[in-house]
Amino acid sequence: MNNAINCGNDSVVNRRGWLTKSIGSGAGLTLLSPNLCAAQPATVEDTTVAPGQDFRISKGRARQSVMAWCFQPLRPEELIPACADMGLLAMEGIDEKYYPLMKQHGLEVSLCKSHPFARGPVSRENHAFCAEKLRAGIDLAVEWNSPGVIAFTGMRESGVTDEQAKQNCIECWKSVCGYAEEKGVNIVLEMLNTRDDSHPMKGHPGYFGNDIDLCIEMIKAVDSPRMKLLFDVYHIQIMNGDVIRRFRDHKQFISHVHTAGNPGRRELDELQELNYPAIIRAILDTGYDGYIAHEFIPTWPDKLAALRHGARMCDQ
């Protein structure tokens, strides 16, 4: 263990000697007092160095993708080649009219769209709509060789109990899973957090599927090899925590992963609480070989630098 505390360019204090001297003089156990090391406010520059424009994923164990909507206002014509240049394998959350350009740059479609997250099968009145959108998403996935189509529970509705909502979701997904099995495409249920009300895309108060145990219970009840979970690390951290253990416990039901820093759905940097290198290593060590898609909303002025940093953090 290094016994030195570095307090700047010129000041290095021996920890053992300083502790002995401090305790002996009645200084107590305040390890880093303002007089010893002036505390500086945390900034991106202090805590994180983004790789340069020539960065490219080198290990490649994680099959990394990106959620395009997070990186607006970058135009797809700019974002797509930049993602390919840094070694990302795929993209999602982008209008399908850009799929040919993605293919041109060697990017796959990691996940296809279906119905909106707010209008879901918690209500039987939405079943025909949701089933139609899911089947259309499955067809799109087949066309573009994507492994899955996203699914949501929808928002709670007045007069629908939790038990009714659960059974309604299960019934709707069962009605589509035969088609998904026939086409070889996963229906991927995303759990969303309901705690963060600071931004319309950082949390979703009122969403029914806001608990991983509930989502797994519904997936098991559907009883199809094509009904899977989208393991969004950010949302699960907020609602349930214990991210690594939960992934290991439910790995057989997981076919897609999303990343973002918490709090704030920000970069995967040191200004948020999740240790992404450890999380990604643990995920890969389970044998997971699906996509890991970056769905953080950059706060850095250079959004592509933020994405390169996220890609490096997950290149484990």
* Residue 251, C-beta contacts closer than 8 angstroms, at least 6 positions apart: 286, 287, 288
pLDDT tens-place string over residues 222-275: 999 999 999 999 999 999 999 999 999 999 999 999 999 999 999 999 999 999
| CATH number of the domain located at residue range(s) 54-313 in this protein | 3.20.20.150
pLDDT at residue 98 tops 50: yes
| Mean pLDDT confidence for 165-188 | 98
The beta strand positions in the chain, using DSSP E, are 4-6, 12-14, 63-66, 90-91, 108-109, 148-151, 186-190, 227-232, 254-259, 291-294
Structure tokens at 208: 């029914």
For residues 16 and 179, the model is more confident at 179
Which pLDDT score is estimated for 160? 97
Which pLDDT score is estimated for 49? 83
Q: How confident is the model at residue 297 (pLDDT cuts 50, 70, 90)?
A: very high
pLDDT at residue 25 tops 80: no
**CATH 3.20.20.150 domain span(s) along the chain:** 54-313
Q: Is 265 helix (H, G, I), strand (E, B) or coil?
A: coil
pLDDT tens-place string over residues 115-142: 999 999 999 999 999 999 999 999 999 9
Which pLDDT score is estimated for 278? 98
